[in-house]
Structure 1
């Protein structure tokens, strides 16, 4: 087994990173070729991989490979290779609402991530200084908002296709852990009429089959009132309605942006808090270190540090 210290540095010792985009993966069976951004440390070998799925939103570029730099940069600085695709529902692709499915390509998003894993050799070859440095045996997925839904499907959650009534299983066995940031929760009577009409696939979300290790991050002021009538607790459903092992990080006073994870100095962030964003990034990093490298104490140390402060940013529970 490789030495974790070679791949993932301690949280206190960030290294310089490189970021390359777009890396274009030809995809004749897709509406457009798949474009990804790769962010990785300049040094180190056997780098574990995080696939990062963007959310939806009103900005023109954040919901694409151009967003989520506050997370990608920190994760890469601590030893991960972060790969961010631009999904077909990104505003950068000018999706046609009359022809796209609902407003979000729930199935094609997950297929994008599988395509990335299928073609890691091409991605490595396209990025200077990256060839031979990725550890394909250690892959995690992270996603914010709609990206959290994408990640949950790859980690084992299921739903019923609203078009043909079939149960959909998109679990990806090459992904062994995940982080869901402000993810959508249960369906049924927890949804607003708007959600039922525009995102009918949310109606049947089933987290009982999501057995992989997952960290769910939720803000205690993220009411997402246009999506759910269940209040902020809705975003913790993937934790509460799935089997262990799972952890839930509840952030005090955090709203849907969790302090601004989607980009630096984003005007639409309603709860801007750089300290909160840094905490989310570092806690997620520690969680994935310990899941991808059994025996690594980073997650326990991070939990202890969060709980020991005089005014903690949040609280963690596990099962």
Structure 2
């Protein structure tokens, strides 16, 4: 096994508080959230992050560590599909978990002030107008709806528009593609929400995919994960990781036992590239994104490539 991902973050102290609990009587379980932030700095931008299926607020430390040390506040809710909650398909909420995920993200954004107050001195150091959302796998689908994607109904028409204009930029990591014939029969029968319409996704976004990410839910190859880039007006750039599978080198945890494609260099590239994209998209540093693109172009043996439009 290769070495664990090394620290990809600049030398900066960070702090993390969990759980911060948001009451949610209509949900059946209150929303548990982790808030992470740099110890110093002002006018800090915020990333609301959505985990993949079965994850929780404690996942994705390789990304969170880099983002917070780079000057972002990261807010991570735990969704009802988390293995920590034990919600099974027999639960009456289960068919609507995909919608509840989006509701949870909205609840977090609505109550950002409450969440930030859990870290002493943090609220006055944050610029909540500089708000981004990011998600991996199912989390990418959840976040994508707040960026403007919609779910096609049985009649083929786009469903509810959940676009949140408060979100100024997004990062979509290994986000599933089109539905219909692009899904396996099992996926079509069990995951009706996996029928996205990306035409309304206009929020500036970075899409990240692995060119070896073969989904068991799709009849297509790994390029299925590039649909959101090809079909949405807001997806500005695409980061391709060479040889990466669904965990994109292991972004969900250090030495995670279920990482099938562990590669610290890829994890570092995802962390650096996403941070640079959001830093520029949120108006913190206009030169950050161009600098990252140039740095990758200059690498002798890059583990990925960036294309933009």
Give the C-alpha shift of residue 14 in structure 1. Answer: 3.6
What are the superposed Cα offsets for residues 97-131 of structure 1, whole Å, 9 maximum, x if unpaired?
12355667211111111111111121122222323
Given candidates 294, 297, 300, the residue that maps to 2:287 is: 297
Residue among 193, 202, 206 paired with 1:215:
206
Deviations 1:224-275 (A, max 9, x none): 1x11011100001100011145110010010000000111101111000112
Q: Map of 1:36-75 to 2, 5 A cutoff?
A: 36-57=33-54, 63-75=55-67
Matched ranges for 1:271-282 at <5 A: 271-282=261-272
Q: What does residue 75 of structure 2 align with?
A: 83
Q: TM-score, normalised by structure 2?
A: 0.93
CA contact (8 A) 2:279 2:285 kept: no
Counterpart for residue 3 of structure 2:
none
Tell me how far apart the structure 2 counterparts of residues 279 and 103 of structure 1 sit (CA, whole Å): 36
Count residues with an aligned counterpart.
302
Following the alignment from structure 1 to structure 2, what is the Cα–Cα distance between the partners of residues 284 and 139? Answer: 14
2:182 is matched with which residue? 190
Q: Deviations over 1:20-58 (max 9, x none)?
A: 10000111121111110011000011110000000014x
Q: Report if the CA contact (8 A) 1:258-1:276 is conserved.
A: yes
5+ residue gaps, structure 1, are: 1-10, 58-62
Q: What's 1:21 paired with? A: 18
Distance 1:101 1:231 in 2: 32
Mapping of 1:76-115 within 5 angstroms? 76-100=68-92, 105-115=97-107
Q: Which residue of 2 aligns with 1:126?
A: 118
Looking at structure 2, the residues matched to 18 and 175 of structure 1 have their Cα atoms a distance apart, in angstroms, of 24
SS in structure 1 at match of 2:124: coil
Q: Is the 8 A contact 1:124 1:132 kept in 2?
A: no
Which residue number corresponds to residue 3 of structure 1?
none
Partner Cα distance (1:260, 1:12) in 2: 16
Gaps of 5+ in 2: 1-7
The residue that corresponds to 1:147 in the other structure is 139
Q: In the alignment, is the contact (CA less than 8 A) between 1:42 and 1:129 conserved in 2?
A: no
2:133 aligned counterpart, secondary structure: strand
In structure 2, the partner of 1:32 is 29
TM superposition outliers: structure 1 runs of 4+ over 2 Å:
11-14, 99-104, 160-163
TM-score, normalised via structure 1 length: 0.90
